[in-house]
Chain A
Amino acid sequence: MKNLYRPIESVIEDIKKETHNITTYRFRPKEPISFKAGQFVELTVPGVGEAPFTPSSNPAVTETMEITIMRVGCVTEALEKMKVGDTVGIRGPYGNAYNLEDFDDKNIVIVGGGVGLAPLRSLILALFENVEKYKRISIRYGARTPMDIVYADALPEWEKYPNVDVHLTIDEPYPGWQGTVGVVTVLLEDLPLLTTANVDDLPFTVENAVACVCGPPIMLKFVNMALLEKGFDPNQIYHSMERNMSCGLGKCGHCMMGEYYICKDGAVMTAAQVAKFEDPF
Chain B
Amino acid sequence: MKEVFIGRENLLKLIGRWAKDHRVYVPVTFDIMNHPETPDYELVKEEVPASLELHGACPAQTPKSFLFYSREVVSKYPNSNPEAEVEAPPTVLVGPRACDLEGIKKFDKVYWSTKHFTEEYDDPFYIEKRENTTIVSVDCTAAKETCFCTIVGGKPYVDADFDLNISPVENGYILSVGSEKGEKLMAGSDDLTSEVTGGHHDEQKRIRGSVTEAIERQNAEFKVDVPYDKHELGSDEDAWAHVTANCVGCGACNRACPTCTCFLLWDQKADGGYERTRNWDTCLSIGYARTGGGGNSRANLPQRLENRIRCKMEYSRDRYKLVTCTGCGRCIDVCMGRIDMREAIKHVVTEMAKA
Contacts and interface: CB of A to CB of B under 8 A. Distances in A.
A242 interface: yes
B281 A259 contact: no
A258 B86 CA distance: 32
Interface stretch (A164-172, A180-188, A200-208, A243-251): A243-251
A107 to B, nearest CB: 31
A230 to B, nearest CB: 26
Contacts of A16: none
Contacts of B294: 72
Contact of B311 (A75, A87, A256): A256
A89 interface: yes
A257 B266 CA distance: 22
A252 interface: yes
Nearest to A257: B297
A2 B124 contact: yes
A4 B274 contact: no
A222 interface: no
B293 A251 contact: no
Interface stretch (A41-49, A118-126, A152-160): A41-49
B81 A253 contact: no
Nearest to A247: B265
Given A1-B124, A250-B121, A7 B75 contact: yes
Contacts of B295: 216-217, 242
Interface string A51-83: 100000000000000000000110110000000
A106 to B, nearest CB: 28
B78 interface: yes
B170 interface: no
A244 B291 contact: yes
B293 A256 contact: no
Interface in B38-81: 74-75, 77-81
Given A7-B75, A217-B295, A249 B120 contact: yes
Interface string B242-271: 000000000000000000011111111100
B216 to A, nearest CB: 30
Given A249-B120, A253-B262, A253-B281, A44 B267 contact: yes
A5 interface: yes
Interface in B267-302: 267-269, 273-274, 276, 278, 281, 283, 288-295, 297
Contacts of B291: 242-244
Contacts of A246: 264-265
A88 B83 CA distance: 20
A5 B290 contact: no
Contacts of B78: 9, 87, 89
Interface of A: 1-7, 9, 31, 44, 46-51, 72-73, 75-76, 87, 89, 216-217, 242-244, 246-247, 249-259, 264, 278
Given A3-B82, A252-B281, A256-B289, 19 more contacts: A1-B83, A1-B127, A2-B84, A4-B84, A5-B278, A44-B267, A46-B273, A50-B267, A51-B292, A216-B295, A243-B289, A249-B121, A251-B121, A251-B263, A252-B262, A254-B289, A258-B310, A258-B315, A264-B120
The 5 A-B residue pairs with the shortest CB-CB distance, nearest first, are: A253-B262, A1-B124, A3-B84, A259-B318, A5-B74
12 contacts: A1-B84, A1-B127, A3-B85, A4-B84, A4-B123, A5-B265, A7-B79, A9-B77, A251-B110, A251-B261, A256-B289, A258-B318
